[in-house]
Amino acid sequence: MRDIMGMMGKVKEMQAKMEKLQAEIAALEVDGTSGGGLVTVRLDGKGHLKSLKIDPSLFKEDDVEILEDLIVAAHKDAKEKAEAVQAEKTRELTAGLPIPPGMKLPF
């Protein structure tokens, strides 16, 4: 019976830690760049676009497609950085737990 109570305590503790981790991730902001810094995007921890900066030198009619591609690339860069930070924080929290490889937390 003590083992079950102890396990329930551990589950509640892990739940509280996961909630804290989710709040930290939501508050996270990362920048992604492309074109050698000509385009910069900022995403929050959930992958939502917060801001976009474009170097004025890109505002030429012929360069619209290039600009569009750079924006997509900068967004991808920022999203990958946010996911890497999220994965690292989750790995720290779940260290020692038998979680199957490839399983993404938080759910």
Residue 15 token pair: 């739940």
Phi-psi region of 77 (alpha: psi -120 to 50; beta: other; left: phi over 0): alpha
Tens digit of each residue's pLDDT (9 = 90 or more) over 46-95: 888 888 888 888 787 777 788 888 888 888 888 888 888 888 888 887 77
Tens digit of each residue's pLDDT (9 = 90 or more) over 14-55: 888 888 888 888 888 889 998 899 889 888 888 888 888 888
Burial of residue 31 (number of CB atoms within 10 Å: 0-12, 13-18, 19+): middle
Is the separation of the CB atoms in 78 and 42 below 8 Å?
Answer: yes
Distances (CA, A) of 77 to 40, 68, 73, 82: 9, 14, 6, 9
DSSP structure string for 56-67: GGG--GGGHHHH
H helix or E strand, kind and range, residue 42: strand 39-44
pTM above 0.75, yes or no: no
pLDDT at 105 over 60: no
Contacts of 49 (CB under 8 A, 6+ apart): 41, 42, 43, 75
